[in-house]
Structure 1
Amino acid sequence: MEMSKVYYTNLRTRIGDNLLQKLERLIKTAGIGDIDFEDKYTAIKMHFGEPGNLAFLRPNYAKTVADVIKELGGKPFLTDCNTLYIGGRKNALDHISSAYLNGFSPFSTGCHVIIADGLKGTDDVLVPVEGGEYVKEAKIGRAIMDADVFISLTHFKGHEATGFGGALKNMGMGCGSRAGKMEMHSAGKPHVAQELCVGCKMCTKMCAHDAITVAEKKASIDHNKCVGCGRCIGACPKDAVKAATDESYDILNRKIAEYTKAAINGRPNFHISLVMNVSPYCDCHGENDAAIVPDVGMFASFDPVALDVACADAVNAQPVLANTYLAECDHEGHDHFGTIFPETDWKAAIDHAVKLGIGQKEYELVEVK
């Protein structure tokens, strides 16, 4: 089998050239123009950054990608799904406000922001996962599934549950609705934090299985009736309904691969990862720690698996920066991500994605000047 091509450009520039021009050159050389974008709705899946975090990708990069898509006749929009945890992106209104706060407005990027799973994170589509071992039907944000073309634009960084956050993490976890995120994180079913519940009964209205009852202004979930759909999590105005986060990291990674397949299967897709400001933790944090290695460059490929492996290899080839979390760890071997989060194994997602036919680990790195 021919190796997948991963295109790469470094972050060096000269007078008359800049990083945005290099990004445009990169994705065009990598073949984004081979996709038929004419009058096609195109989802650009990215992370807008939790308010307070400054490691997320600048909106200038999103504008460059959107401009290329418009040049090719497409109709791009920036998108993400709501978060499972409490924060600045748990519902569509807060999420859009956070995106605007961090610079992702139609005026700065040339395209609109659409939160894919709706106002409360309950607007999703059940998508069959061909070959899925853990997930038979993924709960994917509706706007993402309504798109004709799928593009991922990823900030490549560390992650405390998956080792690193690359293209697979951006797509798999990121395209899941709030219920989908619960399914990936949880081996069980949601429960009610009684001290937060006010007995408003919004959860009972959302439950299709009569699993929730309210007595003395406190809701309870009958796990014998509950199917674990997670709708009640999005319905609760007080964040009293909690998902268990009890799934093992290996299975979480494999579920992410299965959600990725659901999100991109059967339609044109293309993937871009920027390996810069490689913070140890996810951009979902309301803060960011110092980058653990020097900035590397920009990568693009039609194969998200090869792309993740190429980015991981590039990071692991870098020296450890002083005064960082990685420098404080006992370093063994050549896996920076395994060093900072030894309880994780990022290869679990890669190997499962290969098994699912999403892509391959072997790649040819093609440098773009």
Structure 2
Amino acid sequence: MHVSKGQNLQQKLSRLIKSAGIDRIEFDKKFVAIKVHFGEPGNLAYLRPNYAKTIVDLVKERGGKPFLTDCNTLYVGGRKNALDHLDSAYLNGFSPFSTGCHVLIADGLKGTDEVLVPVEGGQHVKEAKIGRAIMDADIVISLNHFKGHELTGFGGALKNIGMGSGSRAGKMEMHSAGKPSVDHEKCVGCGVCAENCAHDAITIVDDKATIDLEVCTGCGRCIGVCAVDAVEAAGDESIEILNKKIVEYTWAVLHGRPHFHINLVIDVSPYCDCYGGNDIPIVPDVGMFASFDPVALDVACADAVNKQPVVAGSMLAQSSRTHGDYFTDIYPETNWRAAIDYAVKMGLGQKEYELITV
């Protein structure tokens, strides 16, 4: 990650992805989804748009049609619908003028524009709900900020692709073992959720929405259409199954088409970029990694982080550090290796890797 007088970080990123073989992909006249996290407003740890521009420029030079993309969030924040999401992306610098391509919110205005993708061999998800624009692309490139995460241990390629590509209903499926519920204090009784329920599971009683859980199928469409965020996911899935569902969603996104992955292990904050703020990094900046294999890529980055000195005053420095792994030290309840092992079983890649420095 050192910058010399003759080469800046964007030039080094370009050299890295070329050395990793990205030119083996045929880009000419192909739609290329560059999956990225635009960062929640107020957070300053997200990847700067300059890195995205490097990828965009390379794709365009090879005749491709790139676009930056992400899906709407399940939680309340600056990215829960396409209009707010675009505002947040532009606020954080991801505009067509700075990156050289357009931004498409993959699951549409309210997070309901999705494609049901069968997951062959999935233990927990039979049909993943993926944002339509991502599934319409011919090629997927993930540009990932590698950092800590309170539910998955760390967020890398698998997390960015799997959770990030799920529609709002897809995110509910990953986070929840149960079905949605209605917060009656927030509910205004508008009836939009009932109008959009394909199974007639929702009725309006005393100006409040009520869900019949015996009829509800858990599709989550009501979550996407509620303008006041009164319909909530259960959020009761076990962490290990959450990790496996993320892997199954990643499989749905990547299966059957060319894909390439880049992890930038910089500003390794302990929390996801979904927070409207960020803590100091847990380790110094490590570098940039790229591979066709998202599994080996995530393992290599985790190993590299674990070899770094701990930043004084960080969450990691304040942890007990008894687990032999920095991410488990911060979040003892998580198990990122479960996701890796399951991703190998699903055929997404291998744990073994050869680290080549360029």
Moved more, 326-335 or 291-300: 326-335
Work out whether 1:168 is the aligned partner of 2:154.
Answer: no
Structure 2 counterpart of 1:77: 67
1:13 offset after TM fit, Å? 1.9
Q: In structure 1, what is the Cα distance between the partners aligned to 2:248 and 2:306?
A: 26
Tell me the alpha carbon deviations over residues 134-185 of structure 1, each in whole angstroms, 9 at most, x when there is no partner.
0010000000000000000000000000000000000000000000000000
Q: In structure 2, what is the Cα distance between the partners aligned to 1:341 and 1:73?
A: 44
Work out whether 1:19 is the aligned partner of 2:13.
Answer: no
1:202 offset after TM fit, Å? 0.4
Aligned residues: 358
Which of 111, 114, 129 is equivalent to 1:139? 129
Work out whether 1:313 is the aligned partner of 2:303.
Answer: yes
Structure 2 counterpart of 1:288: 278
Which of 159, 179, 184 is equivalent to 1:189? 179
Q: CA RMSD in A?
A: 0.5
Q: In structure 2, what is the Cα distance between the partners aligned to 1:15 and 1:344?
A: 42
Structure 1 counterpart of 2:190: 200
Q: In structure 1, what is the Cα distance between the partners aligned to 2:279 and 2:265?
A: 16
Gaps of 5+ in 1: 1-10
Provide the TM-score with structure 1 as the length reference.
0.97
Q: In structure 1, what is the Cα distance between the partners aligned to 2:307 and 2:62?
A: 36
Work out whether 1:366 is the aligned partner of 2:356.
Answer: yes
Provide the TM-score with structure 2 as the length reference.
1.00
SS of aligned partner of 1:300: strand
Q: In structure 2, what is the Cα distance between the partners aligned to 1:308 and 1:358?
A: 12
Q: In structure 2, what is the Cα distance between the partners aligned to 1:283 and 1:351?
A: 25
Which of 39, 44, 48 is equivalent to 1:54? 44
SS of aligned partner of 1:363: coil
Q: Per chain length, whose mean CA-contact separation is higher, i.e. which structure has more relative contact order (CA < 8 Å, sep 6+)? A: 1
Which of 232, 248, 254 is equivalent to 1:264? 254
Structure 2 counterpart of 1:330: 320
Which of 85, 93, 103 is equivalent to 2:83? 93
Q: In structure 2, what is the Cα distance between the partners aligned to 1:145 and 1:215?
A: 38
1:325 offset after TM fit, Å? 0.7
Q: In structure 1, what is the Cα distance between the partners aligned to 2:281 and 2:33?
A: 29
1:334 offset after TM fit, Å? 2.5
SS of aligned partner of 1:65: helix
SS of aligned partner of 2:355: strand
Query: Between the two proteins, what is the percent identity of the paired residues?
Result: 73
- Aligned AA (1:76): P
Tell me the alpha carbon deviations over residues 314-338 of structure 1, each in whole angstroms, 9 at most, x when there is no partner.
0011111101111001011430000
Gaps of 5+ in 2: none
1:237 offset after TM fit, Å? 0.8
Q: In structure 1, what is the Cα distance between the partners aligned to 2:341 and 2:120?
A: 16
Structure 2 counterpart of 1:107: 97
Q: In structure 2, what is the Cα distance between the partners aligned to 1:288 and 1:131?
A: 37
Q: In structure 2, what is the Cα distance between the partners aligned to 1:259 and 1:348?
A: 15
SS of aligned partner of 1:365: coil
- Aligned AA (1:295): D
Tell me the alpha carbon deviations over residues 279-316 of structure 1, each in whole angstroms, 9 at most, x when there is no partner.
00000000000000010000000000000000000001
1:216 offset after TM fit, Å? 1.3
SS of aligned partner of 2:68: strand
Structure 1 counterpart of 2:139: 149
Structure 2 counterpart of 1:35: 25
Q: List 4+ stretches of structure 1 deviating above 6 A.
A: none
Q: In structure 1, what is the Cα distance between the partners aligned to 2:317 and 2:3?
A: 29
Structure 2 counterpart of 1:301: 291
Q: In structure 1, what is the Cα distance between the partners aligned to 2:61 and 2:24?
A: 13
Tell me the alpha carbon deviations over residues 51-91 of structure 1, each in whole angstroms, 9 at most, x when there is no partner.
00000000000000000111111000000000000000000
